[in-house]
Structure 1
Amino acid sequence: MLARDTDWRQGDLLTCEAAAALGLVGATDHGRRVIVITHDCDLPHDSELCVEVIVAELVVKEPRPDPQLSYAKNPRRLHLAYEGTDAAPLILELRHGDRRSVPKGDFAERAVKDNSLALPVDAKRALKQWLAARYGRPAFPNAFEERLRKLSGKRTVEQMIAKILEPDAKYLVGLFFDLGEQRGAEVVEGEPYTLSVSVVYDATEGGGEARGSAERVAGQLRELFEKTYGKPDVATEIALDACEAVADTHLTLADLRRVDQWRLEYVSLRDDDQGDFLAVGEMPA
């Protein structure tokens, strides 16, 4: 079993040899790596009988994180960049369907940490957010989601939102929807949802360029909603009351308790097994 002084932490990588010894990957499979996802406090806890891991795919086509799959923007897939002292970053794609449980006895006996690669602090925070978002994201009201599927030209509104967001995704922290008192309401036909949108950007890392991107996105979203639903005073489905670019440094805890983060899975669920439409609402992690 793992002792209290174990140096294993959430986000650590197993060596390829150790992953193969545990039967998680093939002996010659170097296109997949195994990541520990059990919480730091649970790793040595006596009541936890297994160590949970994810078998992640090596991203080789684009050797850098996809902005739409970074910072927990997509609740089903995540890109993480591991940094090495003498090597290029290792980009891995995680999917919840690739989670595995390893008995602690087996893990303690055969697991070996890959100390040549480390997960930066901000990336580990994103991993925690992504794991939490699996179960923590609420759905918006069904009637609201249905209205977001209204066609605007040849695409639905939510697909158009995806198209607007994609070019500037690397600068955006998230898109936050405020439905006020209608947050959990299934409103009747003819009564509009009153919506305020905050396009939150990374003011520290992105600076003026990020602000410009967020303002451009906010303007395009206003045009989309007015074109599709009409101006707020005449809209009968969704009345966009406000849509503004907001610096993440200005978003308060009170703000976060009032709004819901809207994560559009359509953007990055492009594989064949995406299945039926998935709920897009999600609380900030």
Structure 2
Amino acid sequence: MLTRETDWRQGDLLTHETAAKLTTLNRAVDQSRRVVVITHDCDLPNDSETSVEVIVADVVSAPDAQFSYAKNPRKLHLRYGGTGGQTVAVELRHAERCIVSKDEFKKHATRDDHALLPIDGKRTLKQWLAARYGRPAFPNAFESRLRKEVGRKKSVERQIGKILAPNAKHLVGLFFDLGEQRSAEVPEGEPYALSISVVYDATEGGPQARQSAEIIANELRTLFEQAYGKPDTATDIALDACEAIADTSITLADLRRVDQWRLEYISLNDRDHGNFLPVGETPA
């Protein structure tokens, strides 16, 4: 069993040689795949936990912005730093989760000390794992109204994805505020009053991130007006506000009031790389 003195941590990579010795993995491990530990740090040495959970991840040439920062609920790209400036990028999918007994893990597994996950990468991994079960659910009536088709017979929610995709790099998330209607099934003819916050990474992205978020906010305002009309006449969704906001300006009180929007129907098709999928309840 793993002891309290173990050096293993969530996000660690196994070496190629030792990963290939784990017989309980559901797919072969070769040079194009890496095995990532996803069991929580505290559970790794806990005697009541008899197994270690891992994901068999595909090696990719470089992280895709649309699958970074835990934006997609089913797929995540992480970059590991290495010695001599070498890096390795991997693609994690929930479908590739595997359970390895601690006895087998202790017998065969060796940590790859040449591939280190940065602190922000580990924070993103934690959010992505939590988002699978912690994604917010919006009222059915609200989601139904977002499926309204407008222009070229594409739904509003699909067009939201198209608007977000080109500027996904610096975007932390899209947050919806429904106020007191947050859990209400509003009757037909009565609009949902919606405010949208387009949150961007002010620290890493700077002015470029702000500009991208402002472009998104303007395009969203245009889309909602085309689909539902102006706020004072809308009967389905009244977009009262849509603003670009720096992540440094978001408070805990704000996060308790809003929910991060995700395009769940698109995420069912992992082959579609053209859609931005912000998920989870808090930014990484």
**Aligned 1:163-174 pairs, distance under 5 A:** 163-174=162-173
**Aligned 1:142-161 pairs, distance under 5 A:** 142-154=140-152, 155-161=154-160
How many residues end up aligned between the 2 structures? Answer: 276
Q: What's the offset of the Cα at 1:58?
A: 1.2
- 8 Å Cα contact 2:260-2:278 kept in structure 1: no
In 2, Cα distance between the equivalents of 1:269 and 1:65?
Answer: 20
Q: Match of 2:2?
A: 2
- 8 Å Cα contact 1:140-1:280 kept in structure 2: no
Q: What's the offset of the Cα at 1:31?
A: 1.2
Residue 114 of structure 1, aligned match among 109, 112, 115? 112
In 2, Cα distance between the equivalents of 1:234 and 1:13?
Answer: 55
Q: Match of 2:28?
A: 26
Q: What's the offset of the Cα at 1:284?
A: 2.0
| Alignment-mate amino acid for residue 10 of structure 1 | Q
Residue 93 of structure 1, aligned match among 72, 91, 94? 91
TM-score normalized by the length of structure 1: 0.92
| Alignment-mate amino acid for residue 134 of structure 1 | R
Specify every segment of 5 or more residues in structure 2 that has no aligned partner in the other structure, as ranges.
Answer: none
**Aligned 1:269-280 pairs, distance under 5 A:** 270-271=269-270
In 2, Cα distance between the equivalents of 1:209 and 1:178?
Answer: 25
- 8 Å Cα contact 2:39-2:54 kept in structure 1: yes
In 2, Cα distance between the equivalents of 1:241 and 1:26?
Answer: 52
SS at match of 1:175: strand
Residues 129-157 of structure 1, C-alpha deviations (whole Å, 9 max, x = no match):
00011111121111111111111112111
- 8 Å Cα contact 1:139-1:282 kept in structure 2: no
Q: What's the offset of the Cα at 1:97?
A: 1.1
In 1, Cα distance between the equivalents of 2:262 and 2:100?
Answer: 31
In 1, Cα distance between the equivalents of 2:205 and 2:174?
Answer: 16
Residues 4-56 of structure 1, C-alpha deviations (whole Å, 9 max, x = no match):
100000000001111110123536x2111100000101100010000110111
Distance 1:66 1:272, change over 3 A: closer
**Aligned 1:69-84 pairs, distance under 5 A:** 69-84=67-82
Greater shift in the superposed pair: 122-131 or 136-145: 136-145
In 2, Cα distance between the equivalents of 1:189 and 1:56?
Answer: 46
Q: Match of 1:57?
A: 58
Greater shift in the superposed pair: 154-163 or 246-255: 154-163
Q: Match of 1:276?
A: none
Q: What's the offset of the Cα at 1:281?
A: 7.0
Q: What's the offset of the Cα at 1:267?
A: 5.6
Q: What's the offset of the Cα at 1:90?
A: 1.2
Task: Tell me which of the two structures has the higher relative contact order, counting C-alpha pairs closer than 8 angstroms and 6 or more residues apart.
Answer: 2
- 8 Å Cα contact 2:191-2:236 kept in structure 1: yes
Distance 1:197 1:267, change over 3 A: same
Distance 1:81 1:265, change over 3 A: farther
Q: What's the offset of the Cα at 1:272?
A: 6.0
Q: What's the offset of the Cα at 1:81?
A: 0.7
Specify every segment of 5 or more residues in structure 1 that has no aligned partner in the other structure, as ranges.
Answer: 274-278
In 2, Cα distance between the equivalents of 1:257 and 1:31?
Answer: 41
Distance 1:111 1:30, change over 3 A: same
- 8 Å Cα contact 1:68-1:267 kept in structure 2: no
| Alignment-mate amino acid for residue 37 of structure 2 | V
Q: Match of 1:196?
A: 195
In 2, Cα distance between the equivalents of 1:120 and 1:112?
Answer: 19
After TM superposition, the runs of 4+ consecutive aligned structure 1 residues lying more than 3 A away are 265-273, 279-282
